[in-house]
């Protein structure tokens, strides 16, 4: 007869961590979300060896109070929600209290953090789930998290990583997605010792796009902004003549959260039908704002999939907004000359 037993804590932890941390890019996504939730206006991301050797994210957000630092690394420990009811209206990017616990179980982590109430900063080290006593450190208000040697204790996971340059490209893609979703935050991205960009953090989507996606792509983007009932969609889309052979330039967000969403994609592409050649895809940055209780973000541990209460509303909203933008006189010519700043 088969013996059924409950897995030991460490093994269970590794299984749970696997759902959140698939590769360096997933670590970067979670840490960036934490920095944004902490109210940072400046965030620096540094990676070495595609993020496998080092991911360092530094922010000027609220910091973590010394007494709570070890708690933050316990699974399901969060400052963002309290009750079941809170799950119905989530206003932060994080809420599952899983990221720090997951990351710390599969890497060597060091946190340096300070709140405005602390006289000095604290350093906390946790490696493969084993932690060390807090030590005093030095920094201004905010948090720096260093994640080293990802998957050093889980060789099975390590084997599935691609080569460093590919992992670095996944990270770059995530940083780009997050930076575009928060133009009010200045993001600095350093990859393998080379500065990639700094977004100005001036609150303008166009300036963030210019920094992240480059001049060539950004200068032809058309503005779009449409409100229907409780929904608003706004952002920038490509001109029909700038459509590309891939979907790599499609960026979708819901309430400031980067998502992969078929409904928004289908609505945008349907609206472009007839204006572009077959096999060409529009690009764009579409930000959807809607009541938090009409979208379920608690569908998957990585939180990039969402479910809408009223799917059709979303399709119609995005479709009409894109149609309207495309119908503007002058579309096809260089209508919005990009102002350099």
**In the bound complex, what is the minimum distance in angstroms from residue 89's beta carbon to ligand ADP?**
15
At closest approach, how far in Å is the CB of 258 from Mg ion?
Answer: 14
163 SS3 class? coil
H or E element that contains 206:
helix 205-213
Which one, 20 or 264, has the nearer CB to Mg ion? 20
Count of residues touching ligand ADP (by CB under 6 A): 23
CB of 152 to ligand ADP, least distance (A): 20
Residue 50 in contact with ligand ADP, rule: CB under 6 A = no
In which element (H, E) is residue 159 found? helix 155-159
Q: Which is nearer to ligand ADP, 123 or 213 (CB)?
A: 123
Closest by CA to 217, choosing from 226, 208, 225, is: 208
- Is 46 near Mg ion (CB under 5 A)? no
Residue 301 in contact with Mg ion, rule: CB under 5 A: no
- Under the criterion CB under 5 A, does residue 61 sit at the interface with Mg ion? no
Q: Which does 276 bind (CB under 5 to 8 A by kind): Mg ion, ligand ADP, none?
A: none
Q: Is 99 in the site for Mg ion (CB under 5 A)?
A: yes
Secondary element (H or E) of residue 257: strand 257-259
C-beta of 294: minimal distance to ligand ADP in Å? 21
Cα(199)–Cα(319) distance, integer angstroms? 29
Under the criterion CB under 5 A, does residue 94 sit at the interface with Mg ion? yes
Neighbours of 203 (CB within 10 A): 11
For ligand ADP, give the closer residue by CB, 77 or 87.
77
Contact pattern from residue 140 through residue 179 relative to ligand ADP, giving x for each residue in contact according to CB under 6 A and a dash for the rest: ---x------------------------------------
Scanning 10-18, 28-36, 162-170, 286-294 for contacts with ligand ADP by CB under 6 A, the matching segment is 28-36
Report, in Å, the least distance between residue 40 CB and Mg ion: 13
Q: Does 99 bind ligand ADP (CB under 6 A)?
A: yes
Phi, psi angles (nearest 5°) of residue 158: -55, -40
Q: Which residues contact 193 (CB under 8 A, 6 or more apart)?
A: 48
Residues β-bridged to residue 38: none
Backbone angles phi, psi at 246, to 5 degrees: -140, 170
Angle, CA of 263, 265 and 269, to the nearest 5°: 120
Q: Which is nearer to Mg ion, 100 or 179 (CB)?
A: 100
Question: Which residue number has the CB closest to ligand ADP?
Answer: 94
Q: Does 96 bind ligand ADP (CB under 6 A)?
A: yes
Q: Is 40 in the site for Mg ion (CB under 5 A)?
A: no
- Count other C-beta atoms under 10 Å from residue 219's C-beta: 17
Which listed residue (14, 17, 25, 38) binds ligand ADP by CB under 6 A? 38
Helical axes 262-272 vs 311-327, angle rounded to 10°: 30
DSSP of 267-314, one letter per residue?
HHHHHHTTTS-TT-B--EEEEEE--GGGEE-TTSTT----EESSHHHH
* Range 58-77, binding ligand ADP (CB under 6 A): 59, 61-64, 72, 77
51, 52, 95, 180: which one binds ligand ADP (CB under 6 A): 95
Rama region for 125: left / alpha / beta (φ>0; ψ in -120 to 50; rest): beta
Residues that bind ligand ADP (CB under 6 A): 30, 34-35, 38, 59, 61-64, 72, 77-80, 94-101, 143
């Amino acid at each position: 007869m088969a013996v059924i037993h409950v897995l030991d804590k460490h093994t269970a932890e590794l299984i749970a961590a696997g759902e959140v941390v698939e590769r360096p890019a997933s670590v970067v996504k979670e840490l960036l979300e934490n920095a944004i939730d902490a109210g940072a206006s400046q965030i620096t991301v540094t990676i070495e060896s595609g993020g496998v050797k080092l991911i360092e994210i530094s922010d000027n957000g609220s910091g973590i109070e010394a007494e709570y630092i070890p708690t933050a690394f316990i699974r399901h420990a969060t400052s963002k929600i309290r009750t079941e009811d809170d799950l119905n209206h989530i206003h932060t990017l994080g809420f599952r209290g899983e990221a720090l616990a997951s990351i710390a179980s599969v890497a060597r982590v060091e946190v340096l953090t300070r709140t405005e109430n602390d006289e000095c900063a604290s350093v906390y080290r946790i490696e493969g789930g084993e932690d060390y006593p807090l030590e005093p450190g030095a920094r201004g208000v905010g948090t720096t998290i260093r994640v080293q040697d990802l998957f050093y204790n889980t060789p099975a996971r390590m084997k599935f990583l691609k080569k460093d340059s590919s992992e670095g490209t996944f990270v770059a893609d995530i940083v780009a997605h997050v930076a575009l979703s928060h133009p009010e935050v200045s993001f600095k991205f350093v990859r393998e010792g080379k500065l990639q960009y700094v977004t100005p953090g001036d609150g303008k989507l166009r300036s963030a796009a210019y920094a992240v996606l480059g001049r060539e792509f950004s200068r032809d983007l058309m503005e779009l902004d449409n409100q229907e009932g409780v929904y608003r969609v706004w952002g920038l889309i490509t001109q029909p003549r700038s459509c590309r052979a891939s979907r790599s330039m499609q960026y979708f967000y819901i309430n400031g959260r980067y998502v992969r969403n078929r409904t928004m994609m289908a609505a945008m592409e349907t609206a472009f039908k007839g204006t572009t050649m077959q096999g060409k895809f529009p690009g764009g940055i579409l930000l959807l704002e809607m009541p938090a209780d009409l979208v379920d973000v608690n569908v998957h541990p990585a939180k990039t999939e969402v479910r809408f209460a009223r799917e059709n509303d979303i399709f119609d909203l995005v479709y009409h907004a894109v149609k309207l933008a495309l119908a503007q006189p002058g579309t096809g010519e260089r209508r919005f000359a990009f102002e350099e700043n």
